[in-house]
Chain A
Amino acid sequence: MQLALWTYEGPPHIGAMRVATAMEGVHYVLHAPQGDTYADLLFTMIERRAKRPPVTYTTFQARDLGGDTANLFREAVLDAYERFKPQAMLVGASCTAELIQDDPGGLAKTLGLPIPVVPLELPAYQRKENWGASETFYQLVRACAGPHVPKPGTVRPKNATPRCNILGPTALGFRHRDDVPEVERLLETLGIETHVIAPMGATPADLATLGDADFNVVLYPEVAGQAAAWLRRSFGQPCTTVVPIGVGATRDFVQEVAKLAGVPATTAEGTLRLPWYSRSVDSTYLTGKRVFIFGDATHAIAAARVAEKELGFTVVGLGSYSREFGREIRAAAALHGVEPLITDDYLEVEAQITALQPELVLGTQMERHVAKRLGVPCAVISAPVHVQDFPARNSPQMGLEGANVLFDTWVHPLMMGLEEHLLGMFREDFEFNDVQPSHLGHGAPSQSGKEAAPAAQPMPVPAAETPHSAAGAPLLAWGQDAEKELKKIPFFVRGKARRNTERFAQERGIGTITIETLYDAKAHFSR
């Protein structure tokens, strides 16, 4: 049993819904109790979809359990077929129906529907949303393209113009909507045709033709990795391994697809602004900003590379809730010289952020809340999604424009260069806002004027909560003048200064911290 306040991923049937909802001509009959229909609102409210997800729920109740829930399921399948006339049907169970063991796959098979019926076995007590999406997509691809697999040893003729499929974008994905056209454009400039995009917008009939492409672009390995591996085995289609998030990765991606397509690797980088913006002198203040990164594996790993190499930050923490990609996360963490944090326990992530005191958090909506509480700037880089993650404007993460978007989204929450200095020098100016950079919002009104007295500010990390004092070490006292001096340090580094000073004092057995201790510690820790 696991205590969960928030979860990064839903149950696996939500992953299946993300695939079904992204596609056309597919219907999913889900054996599930009343209440599981809440999942519809993820799509209609968070993503603002104009259509209900193509899902029929049996919504059985307690009184049905004594009777014939299996028949309820059979009727639901027949009704859904009659009403929606899908090209293919998915059938499966949610967590509760898994316990009553009605075997939706077997039941649906006996109905003899004239369309492919794909049974989904998604173990709800072991697996989660992304796994469910991956498994569903794989099963659908197999069911639809399987009949067209050539005999072993057949050499597939190359297309005159190189052609690829784009695999992985789903409903409710983090910026999938905007990534796809960006990547399509990139491929188009290379002279590569896009054959099928799936699951997003594809029909089962489209899936049947996946084998006609020369290779596959795997945009989201969490969803499409398994299907792409099967297509490689069955159709001899190679697939990409680089996800084009950031400048470096986009260039690597171009090299990779050019090679797979047998075309020269050329891109028109005219619209790419990240490299120059990052070299522009005003960006100097970004240097070495300590950044903590957490998200799904694909986005977190890509973010670490961009943060370190393209914005000049220092990665102080890297983690992911995608346990299936533990190996990749560990390799990336090693590259950045940090300990990987692979967990789906939000409290653990919170503890890590609190301990590391980063200057910027790149995370999910969950980390956004943690960062807000700690007073640390934050940008969202990954699902789980929120209504804000579906902006009205085009906002890709991938390709050239994606890199531009990353620059804006990550730099925007930070204190601007000159302001940071002025704040350091004239900390006591009553008009300085101690909570957030002046270019963001209108600040908290209570922070201006007389009420801006620093003593009234809640500390990002009160002394009583620092890891050291919490660990039961003898309690440290801050002298009044030292406490006052500490408050002159800008809030975004104050927590770190406090922590370092306390550690310094503790290691030396100093009981009361004075101004001298504060500056001794500063000198000791200065890089």
Chain B
Amino acid sequence: MSAAAALPQPGCADAPVLRERGQREVFCGLTGIVWLHRKIQDAFFLVVGSRTCAHLLQSAAGVMIFAEPRFATAIIDERDLAGLADCNAELDRVVTRLLERRPDIRMLFLVGSCPSEVIKLDLSRAAQRLSQRFLPQVRVLNYSGSGIETTFTQGEDACLASLVPEMPAEPGAARSLLVVGALAEVVEDQFLRIFAALGVGPVRFLPSRRATELPAVGHGTRYLLAQPFLNDTARALEARGATRIAAPFPLGVEGTTAWLSAAAEVWGASPARIAEATGAAAARAGAALARIRQRLEGRSIFFFPDSQLEIPLARFLSRELGMRLTEVGTPYLHRQHLAEELALLPAEATLSEGQHVDRQLDRCRALRPDLTVCGLGLANPLEAEGLTTKWSIELVFTPIQGYDQAADLAELFARPLLRHAKLAV
């Protein structure tokens, strides 16, 4: 990358991190259901929780656009807590009613919540019991999306980790590539074409589009993380013999090339072959980015912690679009999976982990960045104070990975600035 040469010395690998504790203005892991229930087409997500959980799911992403979603909440009530009703019997009743209503469902996730964790309702036993009852028609799994254990995208991690033991074993040591983390279908298809050109294969995805078609895993499995928040899933895959291919994440041209190359090198592709397979798409994406670069170059950006995508995004925005990083907040800093990213991040960035939202708002107001990336609870109040914001949840719901989405991703950041400049009211 020629752009990189002009930047200050990259490298945040050893940079100090501001660790904060206080109010965390983030979603809990249940929110992942909003995209996972669309991704895995024959799965249903049943949250075992409170009215708050149901209300969160309903409100979080304006999901009422879906007429009949593949998720619901089994709301624990006073009778369950007082022991007047046996929670397990109640859960069985609710699940039976649900499966009668939705005979198309092949996999049911019982999703733990804060209240179910605090009352120590054993959902793994419940899942086993219900699986025995409904197999082979429906497999029942469980994971926790509770706020006391998971932050936003960690819900996807917990869900995928619960799928790993269900993956069939790959016999022998046949080599295969597993791409891990929910991606848009269009992105998966693009990657499949490039991997084919690189001679990398067979390529499989976790999660698969259908729960009944989980990919196989074994000692020959090499996996690439497509998302930076999949700590538990990675551990579970390694326990099944899979090996991680270390790489930056496929955001932007640089990230995508590095990500694809990391796999290609494992398969022994020559640099010439890599250049041939990726050159055209990378050049096309680079040209598209150049147009947006003029609108973002030199502008400062501040990240509130949200999806754990912050560090790869900051790397992309600074190195490929010339944005100036101020604070880059992330709910968790997973140094191992982000090692390649941190090495690329310019040293000017202040990294922060965890949150004390009021203090962070003070810092943001003092810095007055040109663009602030934050959650939905903060965006309008900051706009009202004259700051331009980009709501971060869109970065999780939009296809942003790969070459042909690089410009779309950049556009997401450019649009609020353009809008600000355009409006005369």
Whether B377 lies near A35 (C-beta < 8 A) is no
Which A residues between 76 and 98 are near B, CB-CB below 8 angstroms? Answer: 76, 79, 83, 94-96
Contacts of A96 in B (CB 8 A): 50, 52, 114-115, 118, 147-148
Tell yes or no: A49 within 8 A of B by CB: yes
Q: Which of B75-83, B158-166, B343-351 contacts A (4 or more CB under 8 A)?
A: B75-83
Q: Which of B22-30, B180-188, B313-321 contacts A (4 or more CB under 8 A)?
A: B22-30
Whether B67 lies near A369 (C-beta < 8 A) is yes
Bound complex: CA A50 to CA B378 (Å): 9
Bound complex: CA A342 to CA B4 (Å): 65
Binary CB contact string for chain A from 232 to 274 against chain B (1 if under 8 A, 0 otherwise): 0000000000000000000000000000000000000000000
Whether B50 lies near A59 (C-beta < 8 A) is no
Q: 11 interchain pairs (CB within 8 A)?
A: A1-B74, A7-B51, A7-B54, A10-B59, A34-B147, A44-B379, A46-B59, A62-B149, A99-B115, A123-B78, A125-B81
Tell yes or no: A11 within 8 A of B by CB: yes
With A3-B72, A6-B64 as known contacts, state yes or no: A36 contacts B54, CB within 8 Å: no
Tell yes or no: A365 within 8 A of B by CB: yes
Nearest B residue to A56, CB-CB: B23
Which B residues between 57 and 95 are near A, CB-CB below 8 angstroms? Answer: 58-60, 62, 64, 67-69, 72-78, 80-81, 85, 87, 90-91, 93-94
Tell yes or no: B212 within 8 A of A by CB: no
Bound complex: CA A14 to CA B376 (Å): 17
Which B residues between 131 and 186 are near A, CB-CB below 8 angstroms? Answer: 146-149, 151
Instruction: Please tell me the size bucket of the interface on B.
Output: 35 or more
Extra pairs beyond A41-B377, A49-B381, A50-B383 (18, CB < 8 Å): A3-B94, A4-B51, A5-B72, A7-B51, A10-B52, A14-B55, A35-B151, A36-B52, A38-B59, A44-B379, A45-B380, A51-B381, A61-B148, A62-B149, A99-B119, A100-B118, A125-B77, A365-B64
Bound complex: CA A79 to CA B20 (Å): 15
Which A residues between 87 and 117 are near B, CB-CB below 8 angstroms? Answer: 94-96, 99-100
Binary CB contact string for chain A from 39 to 66 against chain B (1 if under 8 A, 0 otherwise): 1111011101111100011111110010
With A37-B377, A45-B380, A123-B78 as known contacts, state yes or no: A95 contacts B55, CB within 8 Å: no
Contacts of A213 in B (CB 8 A): none
Whether B76 lies near A125 (C-beta < 8 A) is yes
Residue from A7, A38, A62 having most chain B Cβ neighbours under 10 A? A38
Taking the closest CB of chain B, its distance from the CB of A46, in whole angstroms, is 8
Tell yes or no: B56 within 8 A of A by CB: yes
Bound complex: CA A71 to CA B170 (Å): 51
Bound complex: CA A58 to CA B115 (Å): 16
Contacts of A4 in B (CB 8 A): 51, 54, 72-75
With A52-B381, A62-B148 as known contacts, state yes or no: A95 contacts B26, CB within 8 Å: no
Binary CB contact string for chain B from 344 to 388 against chain A (1 if under 8 A, 0 otherwise): 000000000000001000000000000000011111110110000
Tell yes or no: B98 within 8 A of A by CB: yes
Tell yes or no: B97 within 8 A of A by CB: yes
Whether B52 lies near A124 (C-beta < 8 A) is yes
With A44-B381, A49-B380, A96-B148 as known contacts, state yes or no: A125 contacts B78, CB within 8 Å: yes
Taking the closest CB of chain B, its distance from the CB of A345, in whole angstroms, is 11
Interface size on A, residues (CB 8 A): 58
Whether A2 lies near B56 (C-beta < 8 A) is no
Whether A1 lies near B51 (C-beta < 8 A) is no
Taking the closest CB of chain B, its distance from the CB of A128, in whole angstroms, is 7
Interfacial residues, chain A to chain B (CB-CB below 8 A) = 1-7, 9-11, 13-14, 33-42, 44-46, 48-52, 56-62, 65, 76, 79, 83, 94-96, 99-100, 123-126, 128, 365-366, 369, 372-373, 386-387
Interfacial residues, chain B to chain A (CB-CB below 8 A) = 22-31, 48, 50-52, 54-56, 58-60, 62, 64, 67-69, 72-78, 80-81, 85, 87, 90-91, 93-94, 97-98, 114-115, 117-119, 146-149, 151, 358, 375-381, 383-384
Q: Which of B24, B93, B115, B380 contacts A44 (CB 8 A)?
A: B380
Contacts of A76 in B (CB 8 A): 23
Whether B56 lies near A1 (C-beta < 8 A) is no
Nearest B residue to A59, CB-CB: B24
Bound complex: CA A94 to CA B85 (Å): 22
Taking the closest CB of chain A, its distance from the CB of B315, in whole angstroms, is 26
Whether B23 lies near A59 (C-beta < 8 A) is yes
Bound complex: CA A59 to CA B21 (Å): 10
Taking the closest CB of chain B, its distance from the CB of A9, in whole angstroms, is 8
Nearest A residue to B56, CB-CB: A38
Contacts of B149 in A (CB 8 A): 61-62
Taking the closest CB of chain B, its distance from the CB of A38, in whole angstroms, is 5
With A11-B52, A62-B148, A95-B51 as known contacts, state yes or no: A34 contacts B24, CB within 8 Å: yes
Whether B64 lies near A58 (C-beta < 8 A) is no
Taking the closest CB of chain B, its distance from the CB of A120, in whole angstroms, is 15
Contacts of A52 in B (CB 8 A): 377-378, 381
With A1-B93, A49-B380, A50-B381 as known contacts, state yes or no: A34 contacts B59, CB within 8 Å: no
Q: Which of A40, A49, A99 contacts B25 (CB 8 A)?
A: A40
Whether B58 lies near A6 (C-beta < 8 A) is yes
Contacts of A62 in B (CB 8 A): 117, 146, 148-149
